[in-house]
């Protein structure tokens, strides 16, 4: 996995700090997330200021270790077309979201994305996730599997050697997907609902922050946002 050039790191500083000014370019994004984390199903982070408690090594810790694999369905940043761009975010939200301060995040761009797409996504992600990170980094890799249907979703980073998310549909009253609606997704104003899909596995396999969980939270979600949604910079979401 190769580190991203300095230009892209600079473009993504807004993600690290959370934007405090209106966007510099006209943009729009509609993207789907294959998402999983260490919390119990469904993700309590959307209803509480702290994640699930985990008992490890004789003590109780609150954390949310996550893998989010995204694909842009439609979108642009100025004249740059974002459709088809893929990126992966892994990290840990930490134990308390009440001050908008998260623990760590690593954004990995698919190798097929261009420098212009990465720069645009860097600005947009600062509005999608308007929070601060204690540790923030970027990288480049192959998001070689990214697929879903009504019954499952699967994404891999570098053939699964670096990270993998595999979800299976929650069985509702019928064979239709179970969907949670009317719940906001981070700083975005619109989404199609959280399709309940607990994970069969969600793992990050490289480095000192490697982790693996099975049978914990997972969902599929499509969100929509544009630069017009931020008049006067309304991007200061506090978790």
How does 152-162 read in b/e, with b if 16+ C-beta sit within 10 Å? ebbbbbbebeb
Whether residue 161 lies inside any domain: the answer is yes
Contacts for 11-15: CB closer than 8 Å, 24+ residues apart: 11/118, 11/119, 11/122, 11/123, 12/107, 12/122, 12/125, 12/126, 12/136, 12/138, 13/122, 14/122, 14/123, 14/125, 14/126, 15/105, 15/107, 15/122, 15/125, 15/126, 15/129, 15/133, 15/136
Q: Which residue has the tokens 């510099």?
A: 24
Whether residue 137 lies inside any domain: the answer is yes
Whether residue 234 lies inside any domain: the answer is no
Whether residue 170 lies inside any domain: the answer is yes
Q: What is the pLDDT of residues 171-199, one digit of tens each?
A: 888 988 999 999 999 999 999 999 999 99
Range of the domain at 67: 2-40+60-229
Q: What is the pLDDT of residues 39-82, one digit of tens each?
A: 988 776 666 666 766 556 667 677 899 999 999 999 999 999 99
How does 44-54 read in b/e, with b if 16+ C-beta sit within 10 Å? ebeeeebbbeb
pLDDT of residue 97: 78
Whether residue 54 lies inside any domain: the answer is no
Name the band, by pLDDT with cuts 50, 70 and 90, for residue 237.
very low
> Whole-angstrom Cα distance, residue 75 to residue 225?
9
HSE toward the beta carbon, residue 67, CA cutoff 13 A: 32
Whether residue 55 lies inside any domain: the answer is no
Q: What is the 3-state secondary structure (H, E, C) of 2-69?
A: EECCHHHHHHCHHHHHCCCCCCCCCEEEEEEEEEEECCCCCCHHHCCCCCCEEEECCEEEECCEEEEE
Q: What is the pLDDT of residues 72-119, one digit of tens each?
A: 999 999 999 999 999 999 999 998 878 889 999 999 999 999 999 999
Q: What is the pLDDT of residues 156-173, one digit of tens each?
A: 999 999 999 999 998 888
Q: What is the pLDDT of residues 120-154, one digit of tens each?
A: 999 999 999 999 999 999 999 999 999 999 999 99
> Whole-angstrom Cα distance, residue 67 to residue 88?
7
Whether residue 49 lies inside any domain: the answer is no
Name the band, by pLDDT with cuts 50, 70 and 90, for residue 23.
low
Whether residue 215 lies inside any domain: the answer is yes
Per the structure, the count of domains in the chain is: 1
């Amino acid at each position: 996995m190769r580190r991203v050039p300095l230009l892209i790191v600079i473009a993504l500083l807004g993600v690290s700090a959370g934007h405090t000014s209106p966007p510099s370019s006209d943009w729009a994004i509609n993207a789907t997330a294959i998402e999983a984390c260490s919390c119990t199903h469904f993700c309590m982070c959307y209803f509480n200021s702290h994640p699930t408690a985990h008992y490890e090594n004789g003590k109780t810790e609150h954390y949310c270790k996550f893998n989010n694999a995204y694909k842009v369905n439609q979108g642009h940043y100025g004249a740059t077309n974002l459709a088809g761009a893929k990126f992966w975010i892994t990290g840990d939200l930490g134990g308390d979201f009440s001050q908008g301060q998260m623990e760590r995040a690593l954004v990995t761009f698919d190798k097929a994305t261009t420098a212009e797409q990465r720069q645009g996504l860097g600005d947009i992600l600062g509005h999608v996730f308007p929070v601060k990170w204690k540790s923030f980094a970027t990288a480049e890799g192959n998001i070689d599997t990214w697929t879903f249907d009504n019954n499952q979703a699967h994404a891999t980073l570098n053939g699964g050697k670096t990270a993998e998310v595999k979800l299976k549909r929650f069985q509702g009253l019928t064979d239709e997907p179970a969907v949670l609606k009317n719940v906001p997704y981070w700083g975005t104003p619109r989404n199609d609902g959280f399709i309940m899909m607990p994970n069969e596995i969600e793992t990050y396999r490289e480095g000192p922050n490697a982790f693996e969980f099975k049978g914990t939270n997972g969902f599929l979600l499509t969100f929509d946002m544009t630069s017009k949604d931020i008049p006067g910079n309304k991007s200061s979401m506090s978790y």
